């Protein structure tokens, strides 16, 4: 009976590990900067009134009101970058995301996967992976280390035409690439 329990535990362990997202796996890793913004924070931001005089502020606030999940990982580790890249490909396939943009610039690869929303120009899910960032943006650093890759997952009601502005305002690598891709 003891052997049966050990065998059952050993066989179920890979299943429980594989159910873990890449964000959960690396949220406390010293080689990774993890950013998670809760839906409650987006609700608070969305309810704020802005008086900055910035004409883009109202559009920005309107967009963030619809976001229910925002997660990002940044790392300088090539091994972790490779694992993130494998996870992104598997996640895009599993969640039936469409490849919207695949772009290579100066040895930096950008892949943008989306799940369309109910209305035209609206997304339910956006998954972006940029690898080789240090080659295009050598000054892009996090915690004093060059950034090799960035993965970004945004879910909710997302205005496609404003996503590059959000990424640029948050000063995340990939915003300029999205603008070049026409997003």
Helix residue ranges per DSSP H, the chain: 2-18, 22-26, 39-47, 55-65, 78-94, 133-136, 163-169, 175-180
CA distance linking residue 40 with residue 38, whole number of Å: 5
pLDDT tens-digit profile of 79-97? 999 999 999 999 999 999 9
pLDDT band at 142 (very low <50, low <70, confident <90, very high): low
Provide the b/e sequence for 11-36 (b: ≥16 CB within 10 Å).
Answer: eeeeeeeeeeebbebbeeeeebbbbe
pLDDT score for 26 = 92
pLDDT tens sequence across 41-55 = 766 765 665 555 566
How high is the pLDDT of residue 135? Answer: 58
Closest CA to 33 of 137, 150, 178: 150
Query: Taking the domains of the chain in order of start, what are their residue ranges?
Result: 21-180
Model pTM? 0.72
Reply yes or no on whether the pLDDT at 137 is more than 70.
no
């Amino acid at each position: 009976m003891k052997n049966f329990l050990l065998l059952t535990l050993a066989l179920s362990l890979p299943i429980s590990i594989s159910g873990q997202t890449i964000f959960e796996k690396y949220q406390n890793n010293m080689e990774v900067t993890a950013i998670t913004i809760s839906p409650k924070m987006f609700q608070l931001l969305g309810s704020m009134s802005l008086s900055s005089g910035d004409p883009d502020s109202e559009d920005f606030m309107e967009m963030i009101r619809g976001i229910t999940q925002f997660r990002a990982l940044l790392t300088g580790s090539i091994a972790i970058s490779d694992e993130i890249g494998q996870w992104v490909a598997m996640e895009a396939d599993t969640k039936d995301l469409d490849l919207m943009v695949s772009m290579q610039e100066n040895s930096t690869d950008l892949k943008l996967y989306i799940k369309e929303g109910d209305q035209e120009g609206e997304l339910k899910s956006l998954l972006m992976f940029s690898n080789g960032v240090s080659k295009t943006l050598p000054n892009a650093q996090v915690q004093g280390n060059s950034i090799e890759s960035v993965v970004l997952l945004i879910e909710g009601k997302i205005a496609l035409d404003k996503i590059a502005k959000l990424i640029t305002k948050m000063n995340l690598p990939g915003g300029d690439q999205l603008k070049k891709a026409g997003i």
